[in-house]
A and B are shown apart, each in its own frame.
Chain A
């Protein structure tokens, strides 16, 4: 915990671990100079991108560098960014990604990998001109693993399943495996180190959360295993700007879970129980304890697959798993039945009760939801490539004590055909929304979508086509009738093509047109889009791309009209 309260300490810890790892294995490695790396590389360059040294192991160095230079024009009928998130101007975006590995003869691997993105386009990077996308280094051997930087801990569904900036280690001894992590949960490295943003906004909009966790698992046999996890977290009170911290509160807590799992070729089963305690730094808020249990199972017969589960997480249950939604009690059964080789039925039925609570344990009304999905697919054996399917999903929801019943459904009937040269599909859909709490927006929507495709191949079929590509025409119509007596319709048409050959490279183009009528006689919104790109591989590792994208959105209504035009060049190098 001491270390966790100071980001500098963590940085030092990273460095120390890396240096220790490096120094320990320096003796094992006879690669003492870069010259040897060069020699080895030259020895095999043009072979596999791998530097081989038969006696001492291998070094692998892979990566990718992508440079974009582009121009964006935006013409919006409204000030600000309500209609478009793009910014106008000339922009440059550079992405670098690298992965360096030293593979020892023993099978152990030492590695460092990371990436950075540099851009002056605030629509892409709104806070920083340069941003770390990921960084991790470590060592993996047969029975242990060490990692630092951007690490993830995937311990269990209701214990720890998260990403953090810190350390991770695991060790296997016979049937036992022990793993642990320590670090800080932050939205980015920049927010962790509170780097000043280009807009002057605070670098953080949530507390930095220091976390520690551990897992012990025991493989009883090839199929059965048992495990336990323990984790604790604490928000750094001083990590948030005063203006923001006045409107939120920091938390700290501890969670323990235990579970059993079984896995074989046909069946899987897992049970996990958890308990947690959380404290809030808010006046009048008491500490809270709660529990959770999840059970999941699956079985595959020759013709039938079934999956079922039950999850019950208390409203105040807190953990370091990003899978967790507190206040949920749900059960489901889902499966597929391969009735004949041509006919498959699938179904999913579930019920969920949910309730959220606040730090003062004031519970919201209980929300209840029933869901049912059925689908059927039939492949016509007399005409290979032809299939028909129908899918229907329905939800019935209610909030106890509140007149807020809601129902929605979606039914789709579709058929498709594809052979080596042509494809075609047609889909009819109907969807309904009924909600007593906002009955004015209840609606029924009917739609149809059609597409036709043509696959183009010249030269020896599927071997070395001199030209390959495909073209697709599509169109659709949708009518939405709204409970307030109005309706809106949408019609769309488009064509998309891509083509490629060894000489001319790959290119793709798409044109779309969409008309949407507004309720109450307001003007129809017309949107047209054009997209084009051309990619040419100069060498197997280097390619260039030119692209153009024009969107003319909502023409016909001067209050919603926005035009976005982008064109640019991209170079991509991989090694």
Chain B
């Protein structure tokens, strides 16, 4: 126990610096500029850290082995800034910015994770995400424009520029010009990657290094194993952010955003969007509260369980409304991003399909102290929403106090499928069922009244409750 305790304390107190990698070989003059502005010549074995800028002069090259077992070969006359490097489960990330020249790279563990967003190379006009790739990136001025060229030897890359993304697979060449959508090129510009090819000596070094890396870490199988382990259960993982982004977009009525984030092949896609568009038109000032969240994760699938409260003003009356429920959303990793693919339980986005009947009492608390031996109307609204009961006119709800009294309360249909009663009568005293008044025995600080709707012929059931508390 003591050892374990010491280990935990030690691990918590240790604050490792996230080293980026080590210089494996240098040809010619190359240097690194740290964030304090101090420049140092690079030699073999020199460790590199985040926020350093690596620079090569004419005829110089630097080969770097990154700490996640990847490789970077910075070509002559080039400049590369290590923007961010972090190892930590799903948060692992490698971000470099190519400021000048060209670079050849092989992704390591970070670039092999299922979330390809973690390995990024930025340029002034492009954001490139690599997955399991061997690649070349070069900057070249054409006319007055600086173009970013990306060639993939193995794996694939996602080249984004001007909010448009292009997937580049093996043996394809893509370009981002900054003034048009990224697109594929059929032919490689003659001199572009000639300098990026490894010479015989470098190739030998690369292979030797790759073997060393593989031997030290069983790289491929390790990466494969990691890919099968969930890494999205942390609070701000991309899988969970999908729900947050959905809720925010729904609150501001941005259906177009939601539409872009749904998989077109989702079952019920059309009905969900249609329902959201309806909601946006009849709900004002929508606000969500997500509670009791817990997550179940796999590498490419996550299930978020939560309860929710939705508040809004009804368009016609501007009366405050409150809906609550318990739901689970399913998010899938597909085509390079996490997308919502299913909702079960009480759908907070209120789709037409399979929308469960809901019975809500608001407010859910009332002052028990105000209940005397005379009849007191409690101003809590009972609302039952049921599409399958639409057109029924009136429905009846059973109410039962925790003291044992039961009554039947009629709710009138105020709009199609929405049944409402604005108050109900309560008094202290001897229990008398079906007299139109809910009797409570006040022998404690709280008492509960449960409301239930049940129709076994239609299979529709719903329930809710109110707590009477001595304020």
Contact = CB atoms under 8 A, between A and B. Distances in A.
Contact of B267 (A97, A157, A440): A157
Given A145-B228, A188-B294, A354-B353, A440 B316 contact: yes
**Best-buried of B4, B271, B380 by chain A (most CB within 10 Å):** B271
A379 B11 contact: no
B353 A384 contact: no
Nearest to B391: A402
A90 interface: no
Interface in B258-308: 259, 264-271, 273-274, 277-278, 280-282, 284-285, 287, 289, 291-298, 300-303, 305, 307
B11 A83 contact: no
B284 A332 contact: no
Interface string A328-340: 1010101000100
Contacts of B302: 152, 163
B326 A81 contact: no
Contacts of B91: 574
Interface in B350-392: 352-354, 362-367, 380, 387-388, 390-391
Interface stretch (B15-23, B189-197, B424-432): B15-23
Contact of B265 (A47, A114, A309): A309
Contacts of A2: none
B318 A126 contact: no
B162 interface: yes
Contact of A187 (B298, B305, B332): B305
Interface in A391-411: 391, 393, 395, 397, 402, 404, 406, 408, 410
Contacts of A307: 264-265
Interface stretch (A134-142, A215-223, A225-233): A134-142
Interface residues of B, number: 134
A120 interface: no
Contact of B16 (A47, A369, A404): A47
A408 B225 contact: no
Contacts of B178: 384
Contacts of A482: 315-316
Interface string A142-176: 10010000111110010001111100000000000
B363 A115 contact: no
B422 interface: no
A62 B305 CA distance: 24
A109 B461 contact: no
A28 interface: no
A49 B88 contact: yes
Nearest to B316: A441
B269 A247 contact: no
B447 to A, nearest CB: 11
Contacts of B81: 462-464
Contacts of B364: 80-81
A111 B460 CA distance: 44
A83 B14 CA distance: 46
B18 to A, nearest CB: 6
Nearest to A324: B267
Interface residues of A, number: 171
A82 B362 contact: yes
B216 interface: yes
B46 to A, nearest CB: 14
Contacts of A132: 294
A265 B167 CA distance: 10
Contacts of B128: none
Given A384-B179, A437-B390, A150 B17 contact: no
Given A134-B296, A519-B316, 16 more contacts: A37-B7, A38-B6, A47-B67, A108-B221, A132-B294, A138-B229, A150-B233, A150-B294, A247-B462, A328-B268, A342-B180, A367-B353, A395-B273, A397-B274, A408-B281, A440-B415
19 contacts: A41-B14, A46-B16, A97-B233, A113-B229, A133-B294, A134-B297, A136-B233, A142-B221, A151-B296, A313-B267, A322-B328, A344-B164, A360-B457, A371-B273, A379-B180, A391-B256, A433-B282, A540-B18, A540-B86
Interface of B: 3-4, 6-7, 10-12, 14-19, 35, 51, 53, 67-68, 81, 86-89, 91, 97, 99, 124, 162-164, 169, 178-181, 183-184, 216-218, 220-222, 224-226, 228-231, 233-235, 255-256, 259, 264-271, 273-274, 277-278, 280-282, 284-285, 287, 289, 291-298, 300-303, 305, 307, 309, 311, 313, 315-316, 318, 320, 322, 326, 328, 330, 332, 341-345, 352-354, 362-367, 380, 387-388, 390-391, 415-416, 450, 452-454, 456-463
